[in-house]
Amino acid sequence: MALDPTELAISHARRLELAYLKVFGPLDTRDADQRLVWADLEKHCKVNALSAEARTDGEIAHLKTYFNEGRRSVYLHIRGNILKAGIEPRPLKIRRGKPTT
Enclosing domain of residue 77: 5-84
| Number of domains the chain is built from | 1
Task: Flag whether the pTM goes above 0.85.
Answer: no
Q: Can you give the pLDDT at residue 18? A: 86
Residues of the chain with pLDDT under 70: 1-4, 6-10, 87-101
In a domain, 90, yes or no: no
79, 25 in Cβ contact below 8 A? no
Q: In angstroms, what CA-CA distances link 73 with 55, 57, 60, 62, 77?
A: 23, 27, 20, 16, 6
In a domain, 96, yes or no: no
In a domain, 16, yes or no: yes
Q: Can you give the pLDDT at residue 32? A: 92
In a domain, 101, yes or no: no
Q: Can you give the pLDDT at residue 67? A: 92
Q: Can you give the pLDDT at residue 84? A: 82
Q: Which long-range contacts (CB under 8 A, 24 or more apart) does 10-13 make?
A: none
In a domain, 98, yes or no: no
Q: Can you give the pLDDT at residue 28? A: 78
Q: Can you give the pLDDT at residue 3? A: 63
